Amino acid sequence: MPKAKLAVGLFILSEANFFALLIIAYVYFHAYPGPGPTAASALNPLRTGMFSIALFASSATMILGVRAYRARSHRATLAWLTATVVLGGLFLGGQALEYAGLYRRGVAVNRNLFATTFFTLTGFHGLHVFIGLVAIAIVAALSASGRLAGTEREADAIEAVGIYWHFVDAVWVGIFSIVYLWAWL
């Protein structure tokens, strides 16, 4: 088994536990978040859902980017990786807009337990998206610079970045369902 892919798999296992705790806290306080905003009153599932589609789509472009790299098509690799960064950036931009809107309406992290657990959960997810974007940007830049030799080991490393990216995506499926769709019900 390639080292990079195994390491990322183990890292994901570890990170899944980290997110599980943040999700448990959100669910734990869902019924009694204290006076103030709730998911139903503060969030806009439709708008966040639109930006979420960008993130989900970026998983597909990432798969295509890895496939292009394995096919030794450097131009296609660069194109798909760039598309992934743009889509991921779009999602982060959407999150920034959402946060700014919430903040304007007085929904800050210390407002009540909904706000605290919402911001810690989605904030740490956003941080993971950002780290993923940096990693993909590095891979894309390396690919553009022509420094990659096209070895199997490099392909595995790029795929490892991709696996991390799919994980970030999968976590968002969970968060979006629990935070936004639950609020809509």
Query: Residues interacting with another protein, by CB under 8 A?
Result: 1, 3, 6-7, 10-11, 13-15, 17-22, 25, 28-29, 32-34, 109-110, 112-113, 116-117, 120, 124
Q: Which CB sits closer to another protein, 87 or 161?
A: 161
Residue 154, classified by CB atoms within 10 Å of its CB into exposed (0-12), middle (13-18) or buried (19+), is middle
Dihedral (Cα; 61, 178, 175, 160), 10-degree rounding: -60
Q: Which residue type is seen at 30?
A: H
Q: Which CB sits closer to another protein, 18 or 184?
A: 18
Q: Closest distance between another protein and the C-beta of residue 130, in Å?
A: 16
Q: Closest distance between another protein and the C-beta of residue 61, in Å?
A: 27
Q: Closest distance between another protein and the C-beta of residue 47, in Å?
A: 25
CA nearest 144: which of 68, 78, 64?
78
Cβ contact 79:43 at 8 Å: no
Q: Which CB sits closer to another protein, 112 or 122?
A: 112
Residue 150, classified by CB atoms within 10 Å of its CB into exposed (0-12), middle (13-18) or buried (19+), is exposed
Q: Which CB sits closer to another protein, 17 or 145?
A: 17
Q: Closest distance between another protein and the C-beta of residue 70, in Å?
A: 21
Q: Which CB sits closer to another protein, 33 or 94?
A: 33
Distance CA 133, CA 139 (A): 10
Q: Closest distance between another protein and the C-beta of residue 19, in Å?
A: 8
